[in-house]
Amino acid sequence: MAASFEFAIIKLTSGDARDERLNVGLAVFTQDGLDVRVSRRLERVRAFSGAVDLPTFKSLLERLRDLDGQLANRRSSVEDRLAFLSRLGPIHLSPAGQFTIEHPDLYEDRIAAILRTMVDPEPAPLRTREKRSRLLTQLKTVFRAERILARRGEDLTSHRILSSVTLDEGLVADLVLKNGAFHVVETVDASAETEAPRRALSDIGISALVLTRARMRYGDGTETRLVYTASPAIEKVTRSSLQAAEHQGATLVNWLSADDRSKFIQYMTSLAEPLPTMRRRRGSMRQTKFL
């Protein structure tokens, strides 16, 4: 059975000529009284005004239900209750709005949606940084020379190798190629003698996580490869972690091995669609002109 509710946004006001306001909560007028929901990011109040004591302010918000009850018991209108609650120090309530739900089970979903869009600010998106390493640069240089590295603006439908492909928030695959199946490549560069083993182990763990997420996103048929370079000392320490990544489905490629490197390059080259040469482009242009 459909039900309608009136609600108001709870605001903190600056109380001076600036007339600044910060949305800090939601008040819903129900048959049982006032349903008060406080922002999940109430710590923003400190940035808004240094004069506001956060615990005291939160306590005031939580007491709004009891304070509202003083008028609600006398069957006051929603407008009167809004006016009364807006006189409580720095608290101000917006004009009443209304929402309708088709079933009581949808109440919490509607409340969450209002808080998300009108009260709690949208979190800033995670800024993903393109990996920068000598190994990844070498791979790109090789694939560019083979004319299978995607150009700026191309996507996976080009059947060429794309770099820095976002799989999820904070998870970026180094290289991805789509040609029938998806082929995802992660790199770990631990070739420097000064490389800390802990850093190398962390990089391998993150790469294994990226490859696992790629298989989840693109399907079980996804081919994943972990290309690595490591000094002898680092490779000895990280061997078990590399084997764990291999056990999870990744093919290991030791870039320092001429055999591994050659097979890997040949494999990727056989899958990708190479960029047309300049001669072919000019020939196509001349043919088009004659047509």
Quote the pLDDT of residue 254: 96
CA–CA distance, 86 with 90 (Å, rounded to integer): 8
Quote the pLDDT of residue 65: 85
- Classify residue 8 by burial, with Cβ atoms within 10 Å: 0-12, 13-18, 19+: buried
CA–CA distance, 290 with 279 (Å, rounded to integer): 17
Using the structure block, give the residue that is written with the tokens 């000064």: 194
Quote the pLDDT of residue 171: 83
Quote the pLDDT of residue 103: 82
Phi-psi region at 117: left, alpha or beta (left = phi > 0; alpha = psi -120 to 50): alpha
User: How much is the pTM?
Assistant: 0.54
Quote the pLDDT of residue 126: 47
Distances (CA, A) of 55 to 40, 58, 61: 14, 5, 10
Which domains are seen in the chain, by residue range? 3-119 (no CATH), 134-275 (3.40.1350)
59 Cβ contact partners less than 8 Å away, ≥ 6 residues apart: none
Q: Note down pLDDT in tens along the chain; length 291 residues.
A: 678 899 999 888 766 656 677 888 899 998 888 898 988 878 777 766 666 777 877 887 888 888 888 765 555 788 888 888 877 667 788 888 888 888 888 899 888 888 888 888 665 454 555 677 899 999 999 999 999 999 988 999 999 999 999 987 778 999 999 998 999 999 999 887 666 788 888 899 999 989 998 998 898 899 999 999 998 888 888 999 999 999 989 999 999 999 999 999 999 999 999 998 765 444 444 443 323
- Helices of type H across the chain: 44-48, 54-62, 64-72, 78-85, 107-114, 134-145, 197-218, 232-247, 258-271, 278-290
Torsion, Cα of 177, 179, 180, 185 (10° steps): -20
